[in-house]
Amino acid sequence: MHLSWPGGPLRGTAQLPASKSEANRALILQALAGGGTLDNLSDAHDTQLMRRLLAAAPGTNVLDAEDAGTVMRFLTAYLSVTNWQGRLTGTARMQERPIAVLVDALRQAGARINYLNNEGFPPLELQGFAASARDAAQPTELAVRGDISSQYISALLMVGPRLPGGLRLRLTGHVGSRPYINMTVALMQLFGAHYTTDGDTLLVSPGEYQPTNYTVESDWSAASYWYSLVALAPAGSEITLPGLRQQSLQGDQAIVGMMKPFGIETTFLPDGIHLKQLPITASPEVLALDFTDCPDLAQTVAVVAAARGIPVDMTGLESLRIKETDRIAALQIELAKFGGSLREVTDGRFRAESSGFAVDNQSVATYHDHRMAMAFAPLALLGQLNIEAPTVVKKSYPQFWKELAKSGFVIEEAG
């Protein structure tokens, strides 16, 4: 796909997809509750895939989670406690993404799960839940590392009410992506679950979820690309994004503060936000940002930092290695094409910066990763640009290219 910008400020209103993080949790909770209505479900591939697999599960013994991490992890827990028996598989890349932490915990709770190929990785054979001989008055006690993917933790929490005696889940070590855990328990409460916390131990009471109606918020991860667009656009640019809440469950609302040093002012509206580009005021020689709680924002910020020539020290990137691709390696390769870099300056701290950054008809590889396509697309405001395999955006924001065209971008099929 060939992208170019005809000139002048970026202005208008852009439609966002619904949050797939909220939607995929709500779909699992709706299934466990046996009812309720969910409004504003996204047309994103991951959300539609979750809907299809939940509906198909009772009549099949093979389910394919494709490349969707939340679908694979949430379904592993859900299918275990609902005594589904069959094979849960995914793409070649999904079969390289570890799942042992979740499987080990579910096995301790009574799930019968086998690995069909490589130990610790999908595909999985699920054989239902073993009958428990222990005292059901006591909660199932599990301990998992807090620095693993929060999707493992959320998967266990959501099935907690179905475990004998409920669940006492102890998170050990440093806890990352905490907003996603908070989102999970907040939605669980909306569906009637009861939980308490004692430090980094969460106690989920046994019981049944209640059918509940819920409207999913628009996606702050998707909004981050519009922050990037306004930051790189000509002076006077502004955009309105409907459907976002000031009191949000989504950790990626952190983009509001992260983009202030890049000159983006956020105004909350009754139903959404308004972004406006302001002159950049004095900033530290090197900006320091921690992505532990919002790793999906890392690609967006790294590209903007390099393009604007504002060095950013980025920490909390550990989970990027096991996403749809190794996102750190992918960023390093693609930024280098423009004169940018992402280098590890100390253990776990990466600096995004540039020397002579220029956009001149380069081609960006997307590595089967929707966020690579959307993080680099805003560079077309600085020069002509090609995006390889642009359909990857269907995973989370299927209308992304249509919204860019509506806002004034010239989009053509590349030869």
Which sequence positions are flagged as catalytic?
296
221 known ligand binder: no
Q: According to the annotation, is 323 in a ligand binding site? A: yes
78, two tokens: 């859900």
Strand partners, 289: 314
In 120-187, DSSP assigns E strands to 124-129, 140-145, 167-172
Is residue 150 annotated as involved in ligand binding?
A: yes
Side chain identity, residue 365: A
| CA atoms of 183 and 253, how far apart (whole Å) | 12
**Contacts of 222 by beta carbon, 8 Å cutoff, 6+ apart:** 16, 17, 374, 396, 397, 400
DSSP-derived letter for residue 107 is: H
Residue 69 tokens, joined: 């991490």
Binding site annotation covers 395? yes
Residue 12 labelled as part of a binding site:
no
69 is known to lie in a ligand binding site: yes
CA distance 326 to 322: 6
Residue 115: DSSP 8-state: E
Rounded Cα gap, residues 28 and 34, in angstroms = 10
Q: How far apart are CA 266 and CA 257, in angstroms?
A: 9
Q: Is 277 annotated as a binding residue?
A: no
Q: Is 132 annotated as a binding residue?
A: no
Residue-by-residue DSSP string for 4-73:
E--SS---SB---PBPHHHHHHHHHHHHHHT---EES----HHHHHHHHHHHHGGG-SEEE-TT-HHHHH
Residue owning tokens 């077309």: 380
User: What gap in Å lies between CA 264 and CA 285, rounded to an integer?
Assistant: 19
Kind of pairing between the strands at 62-64 and 111-115? unpaired
> CA-to-CA distance for 182 and 32, rounded, in angstroms?
19
Q: Is 149 annotated as a binding residue?
A: yes
What gap in Å lies between CA 174 and CA 45, rounded to an integer? 32
Binding-site annotation: residue ranges for phosphoenolpyruvate? 20, 69, 97, 151, 327, 371, 395
Binding-site annotation: residue ranges? 20-21, 25, 69, 97, 149-151, 177, 296, 323, 327, 371, 395
Binding-site annotation: residue ranges for 3-phosphoshikimate? 20-21, 25, 149-151, 177, 296, 323
